[in-house]
Structure 1
């Protein structure tokens, strides 16, 4: 063993043997943090560095109370501060508590803090809450020509999209934790065998000696071992072209990566673009027994071939960075920083996590992480756009979750990817959703994914959409090696137009108005690495054409009926139409759609019974919201933005119809208050145009010169 690796494993064992598991808790508190946004009220020649200096000076003026933590992501004029003495305990997400009740609790808390301040006997000037922070900031920046906005950070609930036991037939499946002996590997039935037992591989298209490559059916599937031939990502033809992801850096936002795992090449990791946001240290190593997820995802991307260890990564020639964010107290600002971290060096951000998959949460990026996503596609990768890949979620089955309730999965700036099992069908944990672009193979129906594991080992029990996201990131790395100049929208468009239909007889498949096959289960189909790489080489680029936007709002203002009417099978409870004409689009000039969003302001005491459907002028239907039996919220959507990719390539002109159905399972005595109304909805069309279309409308300006 390499001496540095020997030292590493010794230290790792010391960490986990010197303390009981209970002494390595998931942080439940953090020091209070505030984001301060500085906006200049007058034009000035001063640059961002000047604002940064002012932000630092504010902290320097009150060192007893606050510490300056720097800029929030790559978002100009936003800065993060931390209290020197106050702590915030973890809070339930707002999806788990009525926002009406939450407002009452917040008001009570404000009154309590004011009382504490008034009763203070020591005359201390230490900060006590966001109002006090804002007051001090206002005084400091008074007369400087800078307007301020303050937001206190709260701890977010975030969940790994990890192994899902519900879909594994053998209840004895072993999900091991640190430490693991390098010489043994975990099997799906929970047993272990020495690495050497299966070193002889009968069918190997690359001639590699990795002992478990033949078990990586998702990478190469010739039909042996009872598998279905061809149910793989078809990556071998790409490798044979010597395309391996070289020159591309993928960063994993996760719970840490075992950097010294023997199946990673010594030059695999980009330590200079890695970071541990949980401990504020440069090395993203696993630090608790639960930190196994990131190492497994990393192996799917970067496991080295032909080294007699484990298996092979999809993009084994790519560089890998790690951002440890899931085992600390995550906030909106932390997520924003992670999403923009080193965005000129890190190309692809792979995230196998999101809000709770509990069938009741409605949650997503906050103000700053939303801004970080937008900023990333605008300036990341030298202006070509950072590529954000997100697992679409594991909330299927009893929870009947829908990834449109996950604001990361339904962001226009992310590639949300779902899972299919070795049979090519949606596993029981898969989510019905109009937002995911495609699917790729993961564990399910008793068959797992083989990859690296902590402690220098290998595992065959990796699954969930957690396993789908890194494979997708790896395929995109192959595409970017083949065509580095591809923009973030080019990549999405290629995926949309080159998916392979899977489970073709499933009733979820339809053909949209542009002739593209699409499904709420499978998006535009399964990812075919060779097909995507070939398309990447030959396509015409969308850049520098920006994505165009058109918005139109409909005021509805109708109260929900006291007695439930309508059902998913017949008449809607509400129906509203927004008409879009060529004259409406004369300024935005959209001729071909990409993402379509619907922002809904609707209050309802039992949204779990609601189905929301958007129908395009071409007749394509998207089920934006579907009933979720575990959703106990009494709020409705106040508001929430849904997104669909099902209209990709369609023309925008005509009537867009929004229908809301109330399930027949809704109680007839459901209490409806005066507040419970369908207030309004906004249709947001995004897409591109072409010069011929512009000229046909009599517009002389070209698309390329127009801003977002």
Structure 2
């Protein structure tokens, strides 16, 4: 894995986030309680939130869940849809998963068809699978979001070859063009990498990344006889701190020096090139109280939010499948952090956990929801169901104000900047928030819309990249910022917008980048005060993505603004847990103003 060196000589490697880790419908207004039959179901708040504590010290807010009660009563449970779990393995003989396992799993370490983990610590993929599609109504354990969907497992995270990527992501090696593998229809990717430096044009210059994106596009658009597939992607777990690794592989954490990082995330979701990839459905995490999970990475590339929980001690995490036996997974002897662990009357064989969390959990909750909607109306294609999820999402945390940033300019004058806006309704009538995308997935509403859906979207069109030579200075510590504009003459309806940046700046983490549509919608496509502590040159073809303009018209003047939000020194901390120590690194301010050299834009949408 790629390593980076801090100025302190502490060498850090980018680490996978995988192994972590609106008004809701009131419960009393629901006429269809979930059908019983699984003893842990009553604690699975993401399926039906009654305020239960899920084996933690406190409960959540009733109604803050996926709202799938009526869908369950209708018998819509994911039949005919297979979910590929691309992870660290999958215990295919787990008693609450085995009945849903389909042929075609792969172990990329041994070459066998059994991806069950050899290590007792590789429990992540099994927990992910349980959230998406644990077997329901069988009298044991809990239940998945889509309890009759199929499951396949790939331990690609343990051996990340390109051939393994092709196989696990739906394109078998040797397949002819446009003949994408048609077995799995949902691909769950509960992984990613935080960034300590910019990508520096990786998507443009890296051939493998280009080939991977071709696979994403081909499988999304052309598999399943043209109905397509979905790739679901975790946004990240780096709002409060960035997980890194020391040279010896031991964990460490990049922490803000200012408490809470002035309320801003330590990582913007769009900095991960797989999150600025249009073909991925990027999801953030919500906790049982109906607000952003404390760790959840956010940004304009987030499309939707789904349950992820907190840590399972003070407040609920997710109750799901664990590696079997008390010697494996979260149930390894000695973990008595919740009453579920270690074996008890509800789970005598230690086959379950109540500690799974992260955007790693929000992703399979989304994958299961997709399986339900797709099984409700199998004729719908990938874009129409994506559109349905956007239209039917619920606005949670409706009063969330965003993040207001205060700092001093170079002249000492106080500067105020809305660094992340609250909920905004765009010109097409869609409400969007960088924390939640278009909101919390609402399965019952989405299924109802799918069953009556009669007007497919027009054909997808992707414009060519248009480059704008800006050549403008970025004032240090000033809300005035640098501004450049582009006139789009062709009209289309926007579904997403991608931007590439070329910026010279000695301290890239100071920068906030906004894109403003002809209709006046302001999208923060890169938030300031991120963990880009290793980036001292700026951005080269840095790609970012925004869904904020969904449904708006593309024609007119688009504006890009770059704001430098800090004129002072910017220290940060590195926490090393074992033995515990904290090292503070002080980064001096840039010696000269930054410079917006050029930027490019392209539109994804339809006529």
TM class, shorter-chain normalised?
0.7 to 0.9
Instruction: State the 1:360 CA deviation.
Output: 4.6
Q: Deviations over 1:286-308 (max 9, x none)?
A: 12232100000111122222323
Q: Which of the two has higher C-alpha Rg?
A: 1
2:357 matches 1:467? no
Q: Is residue 2:428 matched to residue 1:506?
A: no
CA distance change for structure 1 residues 247 and 212 in 2, over 3 Å: closer, same or farther? same
Q: Pick from 422, 440, 447: which aligns with 2:316?
A: 447
Query: Where in structure 2 are the equivalents of 1:271-420 lying within 5 Å?
Result: 271=103, 273-328=104-159, 330-332=160-162, 334-341=164-171, 343-355=181-193, 357=194, 360=197, 362=199, 366-399=209-242, 400-420=266-286
Higher relative contact order (CA 8 A, sep 6+): 2
For residue 682 of structure 1, give the secondary structure of its aligned residue in structure 2.
strand
2:432 maps to 1:523: no
Of residues 191, 194, 213, the one that matches 2:41 is 213
Corresponding position: 1:571 with 2:445:
no
Contact 2:195–2:272 (CA under 8 A) maintained in structure 1 = no
- Give the CA deviation at 1:332: 4.8
Aligned residue runs from structure 1 range 129-278, under 5 A: 159-164=16-21, 205-224=33-52, 226-266=59-99, 268-271=100-103, 273-278=104-109
Question: What's the Cα RMSD here?
Answer: 2.4
The SS at the match of 1:354 is coil
Alignment length (residue pairs): 483
Which residue, 505, 514, 535 being the options, matches 1:604? 505
Instruction: Classify the secondary structure of the residue corresponding to 1:594.
Output: strand
- Mapped partners of 2:305, 2:112: distance in 1: 35
Structure 1 543/288 Cα, relative in aligned 2: closer, same or farther at 3 Å? Answer: same
Given that residues 76 and 375 in structure 2 are in contact (C-alpha distance below 8 angstroms), is that contact kept between their aligned partners in structure 1?
A: yes
Q: Does 1:496 align with 2:327?
A: no
Structure 2: distance between partners of 1:211 and 1:227: 20
Out of 275-284 and 615-624, give the one that drifted further: 275-284
Counterparts of 1:410 and 1:219, CA distance in 2: 29
Q: What's the offset of the Cα at 1:666?
A: 4.6
Against the structure 1 CA distance between its residues 682 and 332, is the aligned structure 2 distance closer, same or farther, given a 3 Å change threshold?
A: farther
Separation (CA, whole Å) in 2 of partners of 1:638 and 1:361: 8
Q: What is the TM-score with the length of structure 2 in the denominator? A: 0.75
Aligned-pair distance for 1:464?
Answer: 0.4
The answer to whether residue 601 in structure 2 is matched with residue 683 in structure 1 is yes
Q: Residues of 1 paired with 2:187 and 2:234: CA distance? A: 12
- Name the CA distance, whole Å, in 2 between partners of 1:615 and 1:541: 30
Pick which of 514-523 and 486-495 moved more.
Answer: 486-495
In structure 2, the gaps of 5 or more residues are 7-12, 22-30, 54-58, 173-180, 243-265, 326-350, 402-421, 570-587
Q: Name structure 1 gaps, 5 residues minimum.
A: 1-89, 99-155, 165-202, 690-708
DSSP 3-state at the match of 1:376: helix
Following the alignment from structure 1 to structure 2, what is the Cα–Cα distance between the partners of residues 259 and 347?
A: 19
Distance 1:204 1:496 in 2: 24
Give the structure 2 partner of residue 430 of structure 1. Answer: 296
8 Å Cα contact 2:35/2:73 also seen in 1: no
Q: CA–CA distance in 2 between the matches of 1:677 and 1:375?
A: 37
Pick from 453, 459, 472: which aligns with 1:545? 459
CA distance in 2, matches of 1:223, 1:677: 51
Contact 1:360 1:628 in 2 (8 A): no
**What's the TM-score once normalised by structure 1's chain length?**
0.65
- Higher helix proportion, which one? 1
The correspondence for 2:561, drawn from 659, 669, 678, is: 659
**1:216 and 1:521 mapped to 2: Cα distance?**
23
